[in-house]
Amino acid sequence: MHIVILITAKDKPEADKIAKTLIKNKLAACVNIVTGVKSLFRWQGKIDQAKEALLIVKSRKEKFDKIVKLVKSAHSYAVPEIIALPIVSGFKPYLNWINESIR
């Protein structure tokens, strides 16, 4: 199953490092980085906010556990956001490209 994984990082350099490592290790076919994301959240009982970078990762479900392990080792947050969403449908040539890129 193809998935999209959302990961927030503290800044663009951290996001770049994570993205390059995912691609290099063939855990992701593509990573988009969106900077300037404003996040509001509850942390340790208080409402907080941060300016973050969002990684949008295209991969496959069977790679998810390895992705989590890699991201946790490279990430500055104690509890990084790493969530996967199923791709329910997609352009077949693109999905095939994902498969080839992470093989």
pLDDT digits (tens, 9 = 90+) for 16-70: 999 999 999 999 999 999 999 999 999 999 999 999 999 999 999 999 999 999 9
The CA radius of gyration of the chain, in Å to the nearest whole number, is 14
Delimit the domains of the chain by residue range. Answer: 2-102
Determine the pLDDT at residue 17.
97
Q: For the whole model, what pTM was predicted?
A: 0.94
For range 87-94, the mean pLDDT: 97
For range 9-15, the mean pLDDT: 97
Strand partners, 99: none
Determine the pLDDT at residue 62.
97
Catalogue the E-assigned strands of 12-93.
30-43, 46-60, 82-86
* Nearest partner of 68 among 86, 84, 82, judged by Cα: 82
For range 78-97, the mean pLDDT: 97
Determine the pLDDT at residue 31.
98
Given this structure, which CATH class describes domain 2-102? alpha beta
